[in-house]
């Protein structure tokens, strides 16, 4: 039987208030699929039962943050290495041409 608010979100367990169209916490809704509704989407390629929706969301946000913003650790070290290299070359050039 399909989930109807109010009640605990069948996807993440957060409380979904009466009349809410979607879960505030994980964004699940009648369209994107409360877990209890999965049977009605038979035939579509849905993830299996132990699919971790919260983990999936977290990974999606991590990827997005990586695309938008700060450099990854490897990129950071590459820049640090490059800076050290440039400083060394400059120091060498200054000592040679002075
Ligand atoms: Zn939820």
Ligand 1 centre to CA of 50 (Å) is 16
- Number of domains making up the chain: 1
pLDDT of residue 92: 95
Domain, as residue range, for 32: 1-51
Report pLDDT digits (tens) over 25-72. 888 877 777 665 444 455 555 656 677 888 888 888 777 766 776 677
HSE-CB of 75 using CA atoms within 13 angstroms: 6
- Establish if 32 belongs to a structural domain: yes
- Establish if 12 belongs to a structural domain: yes
Ligand 1 centre to CA of 22 (Å) is 8
Ligand 1 centre to CA of 55 (Å) is 12
- Establish if 65 belongs to a structural domain: no
C-alpha span between 8 and 37 (Å, rounded): 14
- Establish if 3 belongs to a structural domain: yes
Ligand 1 centre to CA of 43 (Å) is 24
């Amino acid at each position: 039987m399909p989930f109807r608010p109010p009640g605990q979100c069948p996807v993440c367990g957060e409380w979904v208030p009466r009349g809410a169209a979607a879960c505030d916490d994980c964004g699940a809704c009648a369209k994107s699929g409360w877990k209890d509704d999965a049977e009605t989407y038979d035939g579509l390629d849905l993830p299996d039962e132990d699919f971790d929706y919260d983990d999936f969301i977290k990974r999606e946000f991590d990827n997005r943050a990586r695309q938008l913003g700060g450099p990854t650790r490897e990129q950071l070290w590459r820049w640090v290495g490059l800076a050290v290299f440039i400083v060394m070359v400059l120091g060498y050039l200054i000592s040679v041409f002075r």
